[in-house]
């Protein structure tokens, strides 16, 4: 009889975060290899500082899934406490961990006394990066953008920053340190640091996400990244390569961490290990000022390939780079095999002066193409394979073996690069096809649910069938015996039993008879898979709408459908809410109308979130750009006068500092209202562009100067609005205008840049005092 299959729980903070998605991908791969059942519990954050009234005010409901994890039977809990506890104090994190009693816990990315852990070595790569900025790029004024004050990674990375500066005899100035909460929306904090230190020549970000926000600020200020300001991040997320210029960063392999955590479960349970450190490595790219690629990352030399006895040494360098030093011997066996074939071909071609070189290079080309088409996640990424071939070609072309050999070598590598690009395009096309399918499923979900609203059994079966289009191999829908109202900061506990209303395995959907639906919660996530003859990777998430909880949804998942889990949960929750209202439509007519509106919003929730600003109820940057481009390109608007206004709120920092952030938020809302109320022209569009910045657009056919007219309207509206408030401070905005002729050839970004430039001229004449009586 084989060994007992372990049941592993992985607790994370949702799937919106790139780090979490990579972590889960690695964990799933290792669970499959070790024949362990893995259930991921995606909540949100423990004790976040606030929730927005519209979008996130009920996110606390997601955290209830952690309570269900506590009450169920798992052999071990892997907890990403640093992300879950992003906004929590150490005491709050400890309280959360202690709520699991004597369960076996392994902490991910964080070390706390009394708990086993697997963490990144933040020091090595980050220290190397800061030294690189000082030594090689002669940076003298280095700012640091940290995460939250209580976050262990943020604290450790800040300590590394201070240590390296001290090592070089440089002053550690606390005013050159900001806190961006690990979010890319740290623009205001970056602005503050640059205003305080205009001579700053480098900025180090504690993660790549915040560096994205930094990029926006630097480019807005006209700073050339890599020249005027040297930039470094941490994590080596996919966004680091996609950035322009590419981001110098520290490689912290989230997929490798998840993989090793699950691979080491046996050792953690046996007590033979209690901590693992994953090495970090500096990745030099253009943002730090390097103008050429850093080939020293894989330090090959021509001499390495002249002696076959060096093969193991070369493979050691290859594996260290490709797999970030992680032991993927079993899971990546096929990748390793192809890598070894590749290096063998390089050795043969570099040592053989005969015509067999042509044959060897052809073989190298074929092996390289196969390698580029391998499923690389979570072991490595395609750009690493590409860089490996660049390093190999760089050394191989140094061999002086005649014009024919050089030409054949070039053709072999061109074929490899071409196949890599083609395969990348195929994958991109598949992603587009899947996105189109997802859009279709989303738009038809309401229709299908409404068609079966009269019968519960048919309804739940239809919902499961619809969700199968997201690519889930099996799905379980479990309802609470009675819906539960949960308010913020309440902990009413979890139900002892739940009802299995419907489930799907493979292409078959089942609706259990009512007398066998009841399931005990303590065995819920393990018993569902107990009769399977294979290992399972699954995710369990709460079903809720507003303060009302409905139950739990469990999906069998793979790396490809992780991005669709949140959408599936929203769809199902909204559908359940709608069905309950439809059953009592005469009694709940008004509620039904509201629910249908809510469900319609749920069908496009990701798009709505990305286009609106929750604070001011205006469009955000993306929504503004899309709306204006559509208006400008309409045939009926061709040749008409378009007006773009770039504005910002005066004295926001002073209002925040002297009156508090609630008044800062009030001032932002009032500024948006002033701008919106003042512009009533044809096709007017108003948005909060980011931070304290606003944009507006309208089309006019009037002959008089649009700028003069709108300035007067805004001035009158500003005075009117300020007289209506009881605030001590005066809310005003500075503006820059740009007029242009509408048409398909308009480059909106250029128009905004011109308006932005004019804004700074207007800023010189802003009101001197923030107080009303000055």
pLDDT at 560 over 90: no
120 DSSP 8-state letter: E
Q: What is the mean pLDDT of the chain?
A: 85
Residue 450 buriedness (CB in 10 A; 0-12 / 13-18 / 19+) = middle
Query: Does residue 374 carry a pLDDT above 70?
Result: yes
With H, G, I as helix, E, B as strand and everything else as coil, classify residue 43: coil
Query: pLDDT class for 575, splitting at 50, 70, 90?
Result: confident
Confidence bin at 453 (pLDDT 50/70/90): low
Enumerate the CATH 3.30.70.270 domain ranges in the chain, comma separated. Answer: 621-763
Residues 649 and 666: beta-carbon distance below 8 Å: no
* DSSP character at residue 146: E
- Compute the distance between CA of residue 380 and CA of residue 279 in angstroms, rounded to an integer: 15
Look at residue 292 in the predicted model and tell me its pLDDT. 82
Which residues of the chain are in CATH 3.40.50.2300 domains?
A: 1-108+452-563, 120-254+274-288
Q: Which residue has the higher pLDDT, 173 or 453?
A: 173
Q: How confident is the model at residue 663 (pLDDT cuts 50, 70, 90)?
A: very high
In terms of Cα–Cα distance, which of 250, 238, 273 is closest to 324?
Answer: 250
| Cα distance between residue 43 and residue 12, in whole Å | 6
Partnered with residue 771 across adjacent β-strands are: 729
- Is residue 116 within 8 A of residue 274, CB to CB? The reply is yes
How do residues 471-515 score in pLDDT, each as one tens digit? 777 888 899 988 888 887 777 778 889 999 888 887 788 888 888
CATH of domain 621-763: 3.30.70.270
C-alpha span between 721 and 714 (Å, rounded): 10
State residue 1's pLDDT score: 38
Question: What pLDDT sits at residue 445?
Answer: 62
Q: What is the pLDDT of residue 533?
A: 80
The correct answer on CATH 3.40.50.2300 for the domain covering 120-254+274-288 is yes
Helix (H, G, I), strand (E, B) or coil at 541: strand
pLDDT at res. 231: 97
pLDDT given for residue 234 in this prediction: 92
In the CATH scheme, what is the code of domain 1-108+452-563?
3.40.50.2300
Contact indicator for 19, 151 with CB cutoff of 8 Å: no
Query: Which tens digits make up the pLDDT trace of 68-77?
Result: 888 888 999 9
Q: What is the pLDDT of residue 331?
A: 74
**Residue 608: pLDDT band by 50, 70, 90 thresholds?**
low
- Which of 43-47, 51-55, 203-207 bottoms out in mean pLDDT, i.e. has the lowest? 51-55
Output DSSP code: residue 387. H
Sole residue written with tokens 């039904």:
592
Spatial distance between the Cα atoms of 641 and 700, rounded to a whole number of angstroms: 6
**Per-residue pLDDT tens digits for 390-425:** 889 888 888 877 788 888 888 888 988 888 888 777
Peptide bond into 378 cis (omega under 30): yes
The model's pLDDT over 117-172, given as tens digits with 9 standing for 90+, comes to 998 888 889 999 999 999 999 999 999 999 887 788 888 899 999 999 999 999 99
Q: Tell if the pTM clears 0.85, that is, is over it.
A: no
pLDDT confidence band for 443 (50 / 70 / 90): low
> Which letter, b or e, does each residue of 640-662 get, where b requires 16 or more Cβ atoms within 10 Å of its Cβ?
bbbbbbbbbbbbbeebbeebeee
Share of the chain above pLDDT 70, in %: 89
């Amino acid at each position: 009889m084989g060994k007992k299959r372990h049941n592993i729980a992985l607790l994370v903070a949702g799937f919106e975060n790139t780090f979490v998605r990579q972590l889960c991908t690695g964990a799933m791969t290792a669970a499959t290899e070790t024949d362990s059942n893995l259930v991921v519990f995606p909540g949100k954050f423990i004790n976040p500082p606030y929730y927005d009234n519209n979008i996130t005010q009920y996110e606390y409901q997601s955290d209830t899934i952690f309570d269900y994890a506590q009450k169920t039977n798992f052999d071990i809990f892997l907890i990403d406490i640093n992300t879950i506890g992003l906004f929590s104090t150490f005491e709050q994190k400890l309280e959360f961990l202690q709520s699991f009693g004597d369960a076996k816990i392994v902490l991910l990315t964080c070390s706390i006394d009394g708990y086993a852990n697997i963490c990144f070595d933040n020091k090595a790569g980050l220290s190397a990066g800061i030294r690189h900025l000082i030594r090689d790029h002669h940076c003298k004024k280095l700012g640091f953008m940290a995460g939250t004050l209580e976050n262990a990674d943020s604290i450790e990375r800040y300590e590394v920053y201070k240590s390296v500066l001290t090592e070089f005899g440089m002053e550690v100035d606390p005013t050159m340190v900001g806190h961006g909460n690990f979010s890319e929306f740290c623009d205001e904090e970056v602005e503050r640091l640059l205003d305080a230190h205009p001579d700053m020549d480098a900025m180090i970000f504690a993660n790549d996400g915040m560096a994205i926000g930094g990029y926006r600020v630097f480019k807005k200020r006209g700073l050339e990244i890599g020249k005027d300001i040297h930039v470094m991040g941490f994590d080596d997320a996919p966004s680091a390569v996609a950035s322009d210029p590419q981001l110098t960063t520290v490689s912290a392999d989230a997929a490798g961490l998840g993989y090793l955590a699950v691979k080491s479960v046996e050792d953690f349970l046996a007590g033979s290990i209690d901590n693992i450190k994953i090495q970090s490595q500096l990745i030099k790219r253009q943002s730090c000022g390097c103008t050429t690629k850093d080939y020293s990352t894989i330090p090959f030399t021509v001499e390495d390939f002249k002696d076959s006895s060096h093969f193991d040494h070369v493979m050691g360098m290859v594996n260290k780079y490709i797999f970030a030093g992680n032991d993927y011997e079993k899971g990546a066996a096929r990748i390793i095999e192809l890598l070894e074939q590749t290096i063998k071909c390089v050795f043969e071609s570099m040592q053989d002066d005969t015509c067999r070189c042509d044959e060897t290079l052809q073989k190298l080309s074929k092996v390289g193409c196969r390698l580029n088409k391998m499923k690389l996640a979570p072991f490595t990424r395609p750009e690493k394979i590409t860089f490996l071939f660049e390093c190999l070609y760089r050394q191989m072309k140094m061999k002086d073996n005649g014009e024919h050999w050089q030409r054949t070598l070039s053709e072999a590598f061109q074929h490899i690069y071409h196949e890599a690009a083609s395969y990348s395009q195929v994958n991109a096309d598949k992603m587009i096809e899947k996105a189109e399918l997802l859009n279709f499923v989303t738009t038809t979900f309401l229709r299908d649910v409404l068609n079966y609203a009269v019968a519960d059994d048919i309804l739940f079966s239809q919902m499961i069938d619809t969700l199968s289009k997201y690519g889930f191999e099996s799905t379980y829908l479990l309802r609470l015996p009675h819906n539960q109202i949960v308010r913020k900061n309440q902990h009413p506990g979890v139900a002892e039993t739940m009802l299995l209303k419907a489930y799907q395995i493979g292409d078959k959907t089942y609706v259990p008879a009512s007398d066998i639906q009841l399931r005990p919660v303590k065995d819920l996530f393990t018993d569902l898979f107990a009769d399977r003859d294979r290992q399972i990777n699954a995710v369990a998430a709460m079903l809720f709408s507003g303060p009302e909880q409905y139950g739990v949804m469990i999906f069998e998942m793979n790396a490809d459908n992780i991005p669709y889990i949140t959408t599936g949960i929203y769809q199902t929750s909204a559908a359940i809410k709608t069905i309950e209202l439809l059953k009592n439509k005469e009694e709940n007519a008004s509620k039904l109308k509201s629910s249908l509106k809510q469900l319609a919003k749920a069908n496009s929730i990701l798009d709505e979130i990305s286009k609106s600003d929750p604070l001011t109820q205006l469009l955000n940057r993306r929504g503004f750009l899309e709306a204006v481009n559509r208006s400008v390109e309409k045939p009926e608007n061709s040749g008409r006068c378009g007006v773009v206004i770039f504005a910002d709120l005066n004295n926001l920092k002073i209002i925040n500092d002297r009156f508090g952030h609630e008044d800062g938020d009030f001032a932002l809302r009032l500024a948006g209202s002033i701008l919106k109320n003042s512009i009533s022209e044809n096709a007017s569009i108003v948005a909060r562009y980011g931070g304290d910045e606003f944009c507006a657009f309208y089309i006019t056919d009037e002959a008089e100067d649009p700028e003069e007219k709108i300035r007067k309207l805004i001035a009158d509206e500003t005075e009117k609005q300020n007289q209506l408030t009881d605030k001590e401070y005066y809310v005003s905005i500075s503006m820059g205008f740009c007029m242009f002729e509408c048409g398909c050839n308009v480059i909106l970004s250029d128009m905004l840049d011109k308006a932005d430039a004019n804004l700074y001229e207007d800023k010189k004449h802003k009101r001197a005092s923030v107080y009303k009586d000055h």
